[in-house]
Structure 1
Amino acid sequence: MWKENGQEAAASTVRRAAVLGAGIMGGGIAYQSALRGTPVVMKDITAASLDLGMREAGRLLGKQVSGGKMTGEAAQAVLSSIVPTLDYGGFGTVDVVVEAVVESLGIKRGVLAEVEALVPAHAVLASNTSSLSITDLAANLKRPENFVGMHFFNPVPSMPLVEVIRGERTSAAAVATVVDYARRLGKTPVVVADCPGFLVNRILTAYILAFLRLVRDGVDFVAIDKAMEAYGWPMGPAYLQDVVGMDTASHVIDVIGKGYASRLKIDGEHAVALMARAGRLGQKSGVGFYRYVRDDKGRPVKSPADDTHALLAMIQPGGTRAMDAEEIVARMMLPMVIEAAHCLESGVAASAADIDMSLVLGLGFPRQIGGALHHADALGAREVLAACERLADLGDLYRPTAGMVLLAERNGRYFE
């Protein structure tokens, strides 16, 4: 059963699932489904991709065995419940299909329309898109009410959050079914509205834009990373961009920025775009903000990159400047608070608790702080508004919402 905003719907039982796309994400989703007891068909258009997906599932099961969490026989049984296929054989009996093909509107629309004609009428189609509109993806579907977003975070097995995205025509029953399926996978689902970046990546983009503004203003990226890690983040924003990859990060910044051009934008070339243009993609290329070499287990080990500061000087017209850790944290965290408030006030998520839980589980937001809105409560609504006023010259990224102003007037809290 799923209830929200007066809507109530019962979930359909998912006895058999399918995954479209067998890369690292598809293999991870298929593995998680099979591991938690739901057999799955995994389809791709090439045998090489299917082999990759099955190897990924096998690798993950191997870790379960070596860690003493399951026997070899049990692992083989799980692997056998993943059926790789180059065609749509077996799709006539599935209850849910998770699409995880390349992040292209045209390709996803074509694949979804094709599979819709082959699955039972009750089957729910779910897209694992991280940036494309669910409403736009449903344009060519005959049963758009059975279509929903199901955004997993990478790596699938270890990231607990799944965003379940409602399109304009998504039914409450489809949402309920995917919410229940996510829980059966051992995940924590959060239901969010269809908008650029959905919830987590939208708020993350505000944080990354604050970082890019600091770098452009001449603040040392190493100092920023140290300040945010000392505050409680598992890694600083520069290191995070290296892990994500500059090409991917730059694309996300552009896509989400276009959706909220009044505030989530940065004029001119920014540090991540500059890195991508220079071929410094981060860990995947061996150098980004930092330099990386592989240890004997193949894991990237971070070390300083002496030429990074000279490269960044190209986009620092005012030269470099020192800034204390407290000011860095204030400039980094305030845009997250503001964007979280926008999401709450516009109904992207149902509650402040859902927003903060999503940031902790999907983003690695420091647990001891509890989330952006918990952070705002700890500062106090009037202090947050005063910080917005103090940083108003930095533009709309630091402009408070109407709700924040009202909250400050009564000195209220998000968590009463």
Structure 2
Amino acid sequence: MIYSGKAVSVQMLDDGIAELKFDLQGESVNKFNQATVQELTEAGAALKADGNVKGLIVTSGKNVFIVGADITEFTEMFKLPEDEIASWALRANQAFNGIEDLPFPTVCAINGIALGGGLEMALSCDFRVASTVAQVGLPEVKLGLFPGFGGTVRLPRVIGVDNAVEWIAAGGQHKADRALKDGVVDAVVAPEQLKDAAIALVKECLAGKIDHQAKRLEKQVAITLPPLENMMAFQTSGAFVAQQAGRNYPAPMAAVNVMQQHAGMNRDQALEVESKGFAKVAKTPQATALVGLFLADQAVKKANGAHVKKGAKDINLAAVLGAGIMGGGIAFQSALKGTPIIMKDIADKALDLGMGEASKLLAKRVERKRMDAPTMGKTLSMIRPTLNYGDFGNVDVVVEAVVENEKIKQSVLAEAEGHLKDGAVLASNTSTISITRLASALKKPENFAGMHFFNPVHMMPLVEIIRAEKTSDETIATLVKYAQKMGKNPVVVNDCPGFLVNRVLFPYFGGFGMLMRDGADFQQVDKVMEKFGWPMGPAYLMDVVGIDTGVHAAAVMAEGFPERMQYDFKDVSTVMYENKRLGQKNGIGFYRYEEDKKGKPKKVVDEATYELIQPHVAARKEFDDEEIIARMMIPLCTETVRCLEDNIVGSAAEADMAMIYGIGFPPFRGGPLRYIDSIGTEAFVALCEKYAHLGGIYQAPQMLKDMAAKGESFFG
């Protein structure tokens, strides 16, 4: 054994060829934490000192290669001053340089996922051989960063500027054949041939058939393009990246700028530029939010794993009650992900609508070459329309998705319960009705919970799993498991009016209503909030959701939380509703909708909107952008805090991720609670006090006041 550590080991094979193996003890995957980087440095020194080694292969002892850096270490590290972060990155790079500078040929055998630091490790070798099942990429921009272990230096020198910009700025994860085509890897072989292929490549270098020194030199000198071509390559690709990334995500453009800056330098000079650039993006608020978002997503997955362990049952057959757009969407998603589903309704016309919805969604996948026609037919056959309960005795999970009326839902649920086998789970897709009240109609309320999908089902990643007073852990576990099988991100919440997402969303709409009452222009509010980062402003969002749906839900919120959400003025959404302006569903709401060339609704300003609301609002005036943002965001953020305070949601991470998944909260801001952290709890309470005179939705919750007094934050 040449070197032995807890993550890295080096042993001699035959013919003077050594094997450096990554196999991080106590973990299911390999990742670059600080200890692994240190061991790689030591392993490189041991290899250099051993005069018997003639060549090296780099392998993994796990079914992935290396998934990247240990992101859990970033939070504390990124609190350091910029120059210290740059120094850390430069020191870490010495480990990779140590492998690249070894006095013999090196070949990396990529057996599975190699992302971020994993691919950067592979790039430090002379050659890369990938298994057919391998996937590689540099996804750091998705964390608000760019590669900091030599990726911006080596990749453009290996595959050219254009390809490198695409790989780094888009942050994609690519299969082995794409990596081979672009030159990121040198060969692709079957998994069982991988190690032998890597050894054979080393032997060809040793036999003089391949010049590994020439290959290595390409990565250590300036990019070999004439100056004008070099400038044009970066300008052209940079303009495209800037357009795609937008101003809220600076990392992709920062990566392009860094690559252009060090293009004419040798490796060591270029790595210094990369390290400084990496430190700069690491200190941006976007990196703080997006790294936090990644960690929050992991926390949600961990929480869901804990739920599933509490007795989740197998789901071999599902059913949906109600074959409308929602029912058809649920049936489509279940079948698409491999769980057969019965779709029941009381009318053939409704079943035709549900099957039509599923067929339309599947046809789009075929059209976009994401599915072939035989697979479409097979998937569609997994949805069985019916007018009766004939096979409900075999169903494991039933999701009710009938009209949003409490009495009708109770009747349908009670009827369905009578046809189910013992232990089958029953759920309601209601968006507003109390799950505890719905459960009162059932004989086995412990087998019942809410399962709230968001529209359109096939696109929206969130599913709220709502626990009623008598819901069992096993029921929650089963529904979480089913949501995961459907490819969704479940968040478990407790029952209350609006559950989590709508309870938080409607104070945001309340803030919009107050702005309109006070003379704001809905178009200005939309533009400001879209500039803030929302995919659509509040007026546009109401049109998309459906103004009738919004008015109904607002009434539920007002009844549930009268001290905050019962308003003493006529809201403009009510004015729209009374004038039968329901939004996109009937072509007119705050905006008028016309079909574009692709047949999609395009919003057009309608001056009649101003005439309709004029009797109910103050004279129109211009508001400062910061005031609009404050008046929109305070109600949403404070209600999120109240949901945490009231134990509606289990953690800050779950609350934030529900808002990201469910209503499109700007990801680069990290979620409502991380947004409060970015301002500071004390400063946010002061902001609340500034606007508290507007009503209850602007008043800081006691939990937030207490945190501010202690100098605490939601995410440490």
What interval of TM-score do these two structures reach, taking the shorter chain for normalisation?
Answer: over 0.9
Q: Choose from 366, 378, 384 the match for 1:83.
A: 384
Q: Does the CA contact (< 8 Å) of 2:304 and 2:490 recur in 1?
A: no
**Letter aligned with residue 630 of structure 2:** A
Look up the SS of the partner of 2:526 in the other structure: helix
**Letter aligned with residue 353 of structure 2:** L
Q: Choose from 475, 487, 495 the match for 1:194.
A: 495
Structure-2 residue corresponding to 1:289: 590
Residue 265 of structure 1 and its aligned partner are, at CA, apart by 2.2
Across the aligned residues of Structure 1 and Structure 2, the Cα RMSD in angstroms comes to 1.6
**Letter aligned with residue 409 of structure 1:** A
In structure 2, list runs of 5 or more residues that go unmatched.
1-301
| Distance in 1, Cα, partners of 2:539 & 2:547 | 10
Q: Does the CA contact (< 8 Å) of 1:2 and 1:10 recur in 2?
A: no
Q: Choose from 639, 653, 656 the match for 1:356.
A: 656
Q: Does the CA contact (< 8 Å) of 1:2 and 1:8 recur in 2?
A: no
Q: Normalised by the size of structure 1, how large is the TM-score?
A: 0.97
Structure-1 residue corresponding to 2:326: 25
Choose 167-176 or 402-411, whichever is displaced more. Answer: 402-411
Structure-2 residue corresponding to 1:372: 672
Look up the SS of the partner of 2:531 in the other structure: helix
Structure-1 residue corresponding to 2:446: 145
| CA distance 1:359–1:11, shift in 2 (3 Å) | same
Residue 282 of structure 1 and its aligned partner are, at CA, apart by 1.7
Choose 303-312 or 167-176, whichever is displaced more. Answer: 303-312
| Distance in 1, Cα, partners of 2:443 & 2:322 | 22
Q: Does the CA contact (< 8 Å) of 1:341 and 1:401 recur in 2?
A: yes
Q: Does the CA contact (< 8 Å) of 2:318 and 2:340 recur in 1?
A: yes
**Letter aligned with residue 477 of structure 2:** A
| CA distance 1:2–1:173, shift in 2 (3 Å) | farther
| Distance in 1, Cα, partners of 2:418 & 2:410 | 13
Structure-1 residue corresponding to 2:621: 321
Residue 310 of structure 1 and its aligned partner are, at CA, apart by 2.3
Residue 3 of structure 1 and its aligned partner are, at CA, apart by 7.1
Q: Does the CA contact (< 8 Å) of 1:18 and 1:40 recur in 2?
A: yes
Q: Choose from 508, 511, 516 the match for 1:215.
A: 516
Choose 180-189 or 276-285, whichever is displaced more. Answer: 276-285
Whether 1:236 aligns to 2:537 is yes
| Distance in 1, Cα, partners of 2:515 & 2:676 | 21
Q: Does the CA contact (< 8 Å) of 2:308 and 2:477 recur in 1?
A: no
| CA distance 1:20–1:292, shift in 2 (3 Å) | same
**Matched positions, count:** 415
| Distance in 2, Cα, partners of 1:28 & 1:324 | 41
Structure-1 residue corresponding to 2:556: 255
| Distance in 2, Cα, partners of 1:2 & 1:87 | 37
Structure-1 residue corresponding to 2:463: 162
Structure-2 residue corresponding to 1:267: 568
Choose 270-279 or 295-304, whichever is displaced more. Answer: 295-304
Residue 296 of structure 1 and its aligned partner are, at CA, apart by 4.1
Q: Does the CA contact (< 8 Å) of 1:2 and 1:176 recur in 2?
A: no
Look up the SS of the partner of 1:125 in the other structure: strand
Task: Name the one with the larger helix percent.
Answer: 2
Residue 232 of structure 1 and its aligned partner are, at CA, apart by 0.3
Look up the SS of the partner of 2:584 in the other structure: coil
Q: Does the CA contact (< 8 Å) of 1:2 and 1:11 recur in 2?
A: no
Q: Percent identity?
A: 51
| Distance in 1, Cα, partners of 2:351 & 2:632 | 41
Q: Does the CA contact (< 8 Å) of 1:3 and 1:9 recur in 2?
A: no
Give per-residue Cα distances to partners, 1:281-307, cap 9 Å, x unaligned: 222232221121123433111111112
Q: Does the CA contact (< 8 Å) of 2:307 and 2:480 recur in 1?
A: no
Structure-1 residue corresponding to 2:398: 97
Q: Normalised by the size of structure 2, how large is the TM-score?
A: 0.57
Q: Does the CA contact (< 8 Å) of 2:342 and 2:384 recur in 1?
A: yes
Give per-residue Cα distances to partners, 1:165-204, cap 9 Å, x unaligned: 0000000000000000000000000000000000001100
Q: Choose from 680, 696, 710 the match for 1:396.
A: 696
Query: Who wins on radius of gyration, i.e. which is larger?
Result: 2
Q: Choose from 299, 303, 316 the match for 1:15.
A: 316
| Distance in 2, Cα, partners of 1:241 & 1:115 | 33
| Distance in 1, Cα, partners of 2:414 & 2:351 | 22
Q: Does the CA contact (< 8 Å) of 2:304 and 2:491 recur in 1?
A: no
Whether 1:385 aligns to 2:685 is yes
In structure 1, list runs of 5 or more residues that go unmatched.
none
| Distance in 2, Cα, partners of 1:8 & 1:172 | 10
**Letter aligned with residue 562 of structure 2:** A
